[in-house]
A = this chain, B = another copy of it.
Amino acid sequence: MSEIICTVDIVLLTLKEECLHVALLRREHEPFKGVLALPGGYIHAEEDADTHAAAVRTLQAKTGIASPYLEQLATFSGPGRDPRGWSISISYYALVPENLIGEAGHPHVELLPVERLKGLPFDHLQIVEAAVSRVRNKSSYSSLPVYLCGEAFTLPRLQAVYEAVLGEPVNKVSFRRKIDELGILEPIEGALETGKANRPAQLYRLRKEYRDRLSLTDRALNAR
């Protein structure tokens, strides 16, 4: 049995200027030294409880971020994807609000729009595409996009986030009904968003029990 290189890679997504962006880092070592790539690294069998723990550790070490939502995407593999040899990447995706990336204070994290990526090393472009596709599909029937909002947000803001992720406008009435069905939000008592042209809007937050798990519905938000 020849040795297989075992790594994890993380697709950290955020919303910037209403477009999905992915966090990339310049590689510190060969291969592809100095080239922008997904944060990733070897599994450490001596310390990681499983590949999820390896992904949490790697994301924290490389970006300073502890994402409340980190899910396994898929495993990519083969002899050609890494010049060092036959390799496996168990890939994960995470969604965070943009301010969390800035506050983590890792100055080398670069945010690139997912629609205009090209020429990533390894098969990282394919991994990002798979993550974006998964997030778009899953967003239409789940609370997933809420992780892109900050701690407090108005319903119009949340709708704009869903629309940005889905890449299409969403009917306001169906959106409100869907959010009700998901049962994930609670109003923040006495908190209104002011300072905009419109009348003050109620601020909401994610209910505690949904801070690290999704709520699902069985009908897509944008079902035809």
Contact = CB atoms under 8 A, between A and B. Distances in A.
Interface of A: 1-4, 6, 42-46, 49-51, 72, 74-79, 85-86, 88, 90, 140, 218-220, 222-224
A45 B75 CA distance: 15
A77 B53 CA distance: 10
A79 B45 contact: yes
Nearest to A76: B50
Contacts of A2: 45-46
A174 to B, nearest CB: 13
A88 B86 contact: no
Nearest to A216: B137
A50 to B, nearest CB: 4
A44 B218 CA distance: 40
A86 B42 CA distance: 13
From A2, A77, A85, A219, residue with most partner B Cβ within 10 Å: A77
B88 A51 contact: yes
A87 B122 CA distance: 24
15 contacts: A1-B42, A1-B44, A1-B45, A2-B46, A3-B3, A3-B45, A4-B4, A4-B45, A43-B77, A72-B74, A75-B75, A88-B88, A88-B90, A140-B218, A218-B220
